[in-house]
Amino acid sequence: MQVRNVHREHKVKQNILIVDDSEISREILIHILGDEYTLYQAENGQQAIDILSENYRAFQLVLLDIHMPVLDGYGVLEIMKQRGWLKELPVIVISSDPGDAYKRGATDFFSKPFDPDVVNVRIHNIISLYDRYYTDNLTGGLNRKGFIRQSEIFFHGKEDKTGYDLMFFDIKDFKAVNELTGIANGDQVLREFYHDLCDAQFAPILVARIEADHFVCLSEQPEEGYDFLNEICSRRYEKNGKTFQLNVHCGIYHLENKPMAISGMIDRARLAEGFSDSEYGRAYVIYDHTMKNVYIDNAELSSSLMRGLEQEEFKLFFQPIMDVKTEKIASAEALIRWQHPEKGMISPGMFIPVLEKDGYISNLDMYVVRKVKEFLTDRLNAGNLTVPVSVNLSRIDFYDEQMMQEILSILHSGQLPSGAINFEITESAYAVIEERSQAIVDEMRRCGAKILMDDFGTGYSSFGMLQDFDFDVLKIAMEFIHQVGRNPRTSAILQSIIQLSHELGLNVVAEGVEKPEHVEFLRQSSCDFIQGYYYSRPVDADTFMVMLDQQKKQCEM
Ligand code: C2E
Ligand code: CA
């Protein structure tokens, strides 16, 4: 027998094991319960143990007769207790006199002849009682344990797992939603996102919130591809009169026919999700086996960071930012890479979120500031061409008093010309910056450093940001640029943003520019600067120096 039907509310039909040597009894129970549950049968205790040994978690309930040949009901309870199954799997004893059954771990009993109403109500109540362990209080849906259990139930007896996906969703910067709208509204957003997943057109078989702002789905592989995820992952929500867009990233693991625990599948989907930060313009990343090679677990990561910094495993890359009019390098963004001794080159999307969680990000960001200062000082001392370099700051950096003082003292020292080092702060980080941090930003600007608002347009109230905060340069997120030529609305919005920025005295950088038609559009729209693969990928310091030297030569000619 197989689990065939999927419940309307994306629940898998529940599996019940009937253990009774009387064929007639089994048939009556099948008649009473067959519509609602998937029923498995065992003729004696030993058969029941054999079935449960395969995967007891695939069952929600055992109906157990006491008097049976080979191994009786008491024997079954004994073994289930010894193996720890009874903690998760309730047993209803079929007997007019349960005798010792309660003591041996049975949950309830009913007697023959069966009264269909009594049988149905008791079974329903007991399954609901145990379901509480598997339910997420916030959404009312499955929690992690429940998802694992239901997935096991779903796959029980299925030979072929290919054709199914496990998807892992992470709501980025969810803390900012809480801070912006309050915890209660934040909770409501999590509930709405859960329901949006349940109702999504790809009709997931199972949906769960497995922790905080992480969700998982089990689904059939969609024939039409995964682009529908872009919409789900950037849906707008309204709370407290504030409209904001969630930025959700998704990792997808295509199930394979090899033995693997459901938790292993979740890990793989989560791992793929970790790569999504470097896959701009797409909300999802599909797992492939090469990802495992660069996987570093969080604990290892934090501890190896210090070693990495000491051993200079982190390398600074520079990505040129071009002046649209002259097509010369106007400035550059410093982007960090980790040259891990065993894992090879690791992109920041893999380790920055972990470092932000652990608070170690500030060590790394300060390292970048010092390296940029060194780079610029060396070039200036040698009389070579330099351009301003911007460094990414994380929101967490503003809580690091020492780091902020070190940055301010570099800026105050006058060792570098004013405006040589600038700072990029993402829109979502800027949105939750406190007054004290704002004072530091103001001080940086007084010292001549420019503040670039990064990823503009991906946050919760982009236009509110323009009104409320002082900064110098607006960097338009690449998600927008990639819509140029595809979505006429985006093009109109981009033109308005550029015009509005100019009216506010801001310069505009377009990020993620890859195609000639992007460049042409931006030129016509009077965008000031362009950053993207069209001109150059991020390059190492030596290559960047060659680029600057060439530019200097051209100027001299
Ligand atoms: P970001 O600040 O938005 O940086 C731009 C990212 O876009 C870089 O990814 C860059 O390689 C990529 N990119 C540039 N041009 C193109 C293009 O034309 N097409 C596409 N598809 N991508 C392009 P990267 O280097 O992987 O960095 C990812 C993120 O990691 C950065 O996003 C930034 O938020 C963060 N990051 C990088 N270095 C640092 C750092 O030193 N400190 C902090 N706090 N964050 C950093
Ligand atoms: Ca940036």
Q: Which residues line ligand 1 (CB under 6 A)?
A: 277-278, 280, 319, 335-336, 347-349, 352, 361, 365, 368, 392, 394, 424, 454-455, 478, 512-514, 531-533, 538
**pLDDT > 80? residue 12:** no
Question: Separation of 455 CA from ligand 1 center, angstroms?
Answer: 10
Q: Is the peptide bond before 113 cis (omega within 30 degrees of 0)?
A: yes
**pLDDT > 90? residue 445:** yes
Residue 222 CB contacts under 8 Å (≥ 6 apart), including other chains: 202, 228
Q: Which atom of ligand 1 is nearest to the CA of 424?
A: 2
Cα–Cα distance, 405 to 409 (Å, whole number): 6
One DSSP character per residue, 234-268 reads T-EEEETTEEEE--EEEEEEE--SS---HHHHHHH
One DSSP character per residue, 262-325 reads HHHHHHHHHHHHHTGGGSTT-SEEE--THHHHT---HHHHHHHHHHHHHTT-EEEEEEEEEETT
Mean pLDDT of the chain: 88
Q: Stretch 144-169: mean pLDDT, rounded?
A: 90
**pLDDT > 80? residue 240:** no
Query: pLDDT tier at 432 (50, 70, 90 boundaries)?
Result: low
Place of tokens 């409320």: 468
Burial 413-430 (b: 16+ CB within 10 A, else e): eeebeeebbbbbbbbbbb
Ranking 188-192, 196-200, 341-345 by mean pLDDT, the lowest is 341-345
Question: Separation of 435 CA from ligand 2 center, angstroms?
Answer: 23
- pLDDT reported for residue 280: 53
**pLDDT > 80? residue 35:** yes
Residue 98 identity (one-letter amino acid)? P
SS3 218: strand
Protein residue with its CA nearest to atom 43 in ligand 1: 392
Q: Which atom of ligand 1 is nearest to the CA of 391?
A: 41
- The conformation of residue 396, written as its DSSP 8-state character, comes to G
Q: From the CA of 537, which ligand is nearest? A: 1
Number of helices and strands in the chain (H, E): 21, 22
Protein residue with its CA nearest to atom 19 in ligand 1: 512
- pLDDT reported for residue 295: 53
Q: From the CA of 315, which ligand is nearest? A: 1
- pLDDT reported for residue 299: 55
The closest of 178, 139, 211, 168 to 460, measured between CA atoms, is 178
Check if the beta carbon of residue 507 is closer than 8 Å to that of residue 301: no
Question: Separation of 448 CA from ligand 2 center, angstroms?
Answer: 19
Question: Separation of 453 CA from ligand 1 center, angstroms?
Answer: 14
**Segment of 20-24, 127-131, 154-158, 297-301 carrying the highest mean pLDDT:** 20-24
Question: Separation of 538 CA from ligand 1 center, angstroms?
Answer: 9
Query: pLDDT tier at 412 (50, 70, 90 boundaries)?
Result: very high
- Half-sphere exposure in the Cβ direction for 525 (13 Å, CA): 27
**pLDDT > 70? residue 7:** no
Q: Stretch 109-138: mean pLDDT, rounded?
A: 88
The closest of 248, 132, 275, 271 to 193, measured between CA atoms, is 248
- pLDDT reported for residue 6: 31
- For the stretch 510-546, pLDDT in tens is 999 999 999 999 999 999 999 999 999 999 999 999 9
Ranking 75-89, 374-388, 503-517 by mean pLDDT, the lowest is 75-89
Cα–Cα distance, 90 to 106 (Å, whole number): 7
Q: Which atom of ligand 1 is nearest to the CA of 394?
A: 44
Q: Report the predicted TM-score, pTM, of the whole model to 2 decimal places.
A: 0.56
Protein residue with its CA nearest to atom 6 in ligand 1: 278
Q: Stretch 115-128: mean pLDDT, rounded?
A: 91
Query: pLDDT tier at 351 (50, 70, 90 boundaries)?
Result: confident
Residue 70 CB contacts under 8 Å (≥ 6 apart), including other chains: 44, 45, 46, 47
Residue 32 identity (one-letter amino acid)? I
Question: Separation of 278 CA from ligand 1 center, angstroms?
Answer: 7
Residue predicted with more confidence, 294 or 503: 503
